[in-house]
Amino acid sequence: MTDGILGKAATMEIPIHGNGEAGQLPEDDGLEQDLQQVMVSGPNLNETSIVSGGYGGSGDGLIPTGKFSYAGWEVWVEPQRCLIYPREAGVRELGPLGSGRHPSHSTTPTGPGDEVARGIAGEKFDIVKKWGINTYKCTKQLLSERFGRGSRTVDLELELQIELLRETKRKYESVLQLGRALTAHLYSLLQTQHALGDAFADLSQKSPELQEEFGYNAETQKLLCKNGETLLGAVNFFVSSINTLVTKTMEDTLMTVKQYEAARLEYDAYRTDLEELSLGPRDAGTRGRLESAQATFQAHRDKYEKLRGDVAIKLKFLEENKIKVMHKQLLLFHNAVSAYFAGNQKQLEQTLQQFNIKLRPPGAEKPSWLEEQ
Tell me, rounded to whole angstroms, the distance of Cα 280 from its chain centroid. Answer: 40
Ranking 119-123, 215-219, 280-284, 337-341 by mean pLDDT, the lowest is 280-284
Burial of residue 238 (CB within 10 Å: 0-12, 13-18, 19+) is: buried
The one-letter code for the residue type at 318 is L
Q: What is the pLDDT of residues 262-272, one digit of tens each?
A: 999 999 988 88
CA angle (250, 313, 255) in 5-degree steps: 40
Q: What is the rounded CA–CA span in Å between residue 5 and residue 34?
A: 6
Residue-level pLDDT at 76: 60
CA–CA separation, 28 vs 35, rounded Å? 11
Q: Above pLDDT 70, what percent of the chain? A: 66
Q: What is the mean pLDDT of residues 61-83?
A: 55
pLDDT band at 279 (very low <50, low <70, confident <90, very high): confident
Give residue 87's pLDDT. 52
Model pLDDT for residues 25-35, shown as the tens digit of each residue: 444 455 455 54
Q: Are 270 and 137 in contact (CB under 8 A)?
A: yes
In terms of pLDDT, which residue wins out, 320 or 357?
320
Confidence of residue 298 (pLDDT cuts 50, 70, 90): very high
- Looking at residue 10, its pLDDT comes to 40
Would you say residue 238 has pLDDT above 50? yes
Asked if residue 306 has pLDDT above 80, the reply is: yes
Answer whether residue 301 shows pLDDT above 60: yes
Q: What is the CATH architecture assignment of 29-355?
A: Up-down Bundle (1.20)
In terms of pLDDT, which residue wins out, 59 or 33?
Answer: 33
Selection from 130-139, 147-156, 189-198 with the highest mean pLDDT: 189-198
62, pLDDT greater than 50:
no
Q: What is the mean pLDDT of the chain?
A: 75
24 confidence band (pLDDT: 50, 70, 90): very low
Considering Cα of 284, then 290, then 293, then 295, what sign does the dihedral take? negative
203 three-state secondary structure: helix
Amino acid (1-letter code) at residue 242: I
